[in-house]
Amino acid sequence: MAKQTVLAILQAAKQQLQMAGQDPELAQYLMLEGNQWRFTELVQHYREALSPTQTQAFQAQLARVCAGEPAQYVLGYAPFYGREFQVTPATLIPRPETEELVEWVLQVVRQPAAKVIDVGTGSGAIAVTLKKERPMWLVTATDISDAAIAVAQKNAQRLTAQLMWATGDLLAPVTGQRFDVIVSNPPYIDRTEMPEMDTSVKRYEPEQALYAADHGLAFYQRFAQVLTTYLVPTGDFFAEIGYHQGAAVKQIFKQALPDAQVTVKSDINGHDRMIHVHLASKG
Q: Give residue-wise pLDDT tens across range 253-270.
A: 999 999 999 999 999 999
Q: Which of 2-6, 92-96, 184-188 has the lowest mean pLDDT?
A: 2-6
Give the C-alpha separation, 193 to 173, whole Å: 31
More confident of the two residues 12 and 193: 12
Enclosing H/E stretch for 180 = strand 179-184
76 has a pLDDT exceeding 80: yes
Could you tell me if 240 and 101 are in contact, meaning their C-beta atoms sit under 8 angstroms apart?
A: yes
For the segment 192-201, the average pLDDT, to the nearest whole number, is 70
Confidence of residue 197 (pLDDT cuts 50, 70, 90): low
Instruction: Render pLDDT for 125-135 as a digit per residue (tens, 0 to 9).
Output: 999 999 999 99
Q: Which domain holds residue 133?
A: 77-278
Q: How many domains does the chain have?
A: 2
CATH number (domain holding residue 196): 3.40.50.150
Which of 73-77, 204-208, 239-243 comes out lowest in average pLDDT?
204-208
Provide the residue type at 46 as one letter. Answer: Y
pLDDT value at residue 1: 43
Mean pLDDT, residues 226-233: 97
Regarding whether 267 and 185 lie in a shared domain, the answer is yes
Angle at 76 between CA 205 and CA 271, to 5 degrees: 50
Residue 219 — φ and ψ, nearest 5°? -70, -35
Mean pLDDT of the 24-32 span: 95
- Annotated binding-site positions: 120-124, 143, 185-188
Last residue of a domain, one of 21, 40, 68: 68
Q: Residue ranges for the binding site for substrate?
A: 185-188
- In the structure, what pLDDT confidence band is assigned to residue 203 with cuts at 50, 70 and 90? confident
1 within domain boundaries: no
Kindly state the helix (H) or strand (E) to which residue 147 belongs, with its residue range. Answer: helix 146-158
In a domain, 47, yes or no: yes
Residue 102 makes CB contacts below 8 A (sequence gap 6+) with: 81, 126, 129, 130, 133
The pLDDT value recorded for residue 282 is: 54
The mean predicted confidence, pLDDT, of the chain is 92
For residue range 141-173, list pLDDT tens digits in order.
999 999 999 999 999 999 999 999 999 999 999
Domain assignment of residue 283, yes or no: no
Rg over alpha carbons for the chain, rounded to the nearest Å, is 21
Using alpha carbons, select from 98, 108, 168, 112 the residue that is nearest to residue 140.
168
- Rounded Cα distance, 25 and 10, in Å: 9
196 shares a domain with 92: yes
pLDDT score at 211: 62
Residue 283: predicted pLDDT: 47
Annotated binding site for S-adenosyl-L-methionine: 120-124, 143, 185
Q: What is the pLDDT of residue 97?
A: 93
- List residues bridging with 139 in a β-sheet: 116
Question: 129 and 268, same structural domain?
Answer: yes
| pLDDT of amino acid 154 | 98
Q: How much is the pLDDT for 264? A: 97
For 2, the 3-state DSSP assignment is coil
**Tell me, what's the pLDDT at 72?**
94
pLDDT band (50, 70, 90) for residue 208: confident
Is residue 214 very low, low, confident or very high in pLDDT (cuts 50, 70, 90)?
confident
Q: Are residues 158 and 54 in the same domain?
A: no
pLDDT at 190 over 90: no
φ, ψ of residue 176 in degrees (nearest 5): 95, -10
Asked whether residue 107 is domain-assigned, the answer is yes
Distances, alpha carbon 77 to alpha carbons 72, 137, 152, 154, 243, in Å: 5, 26, 12, 12, 26
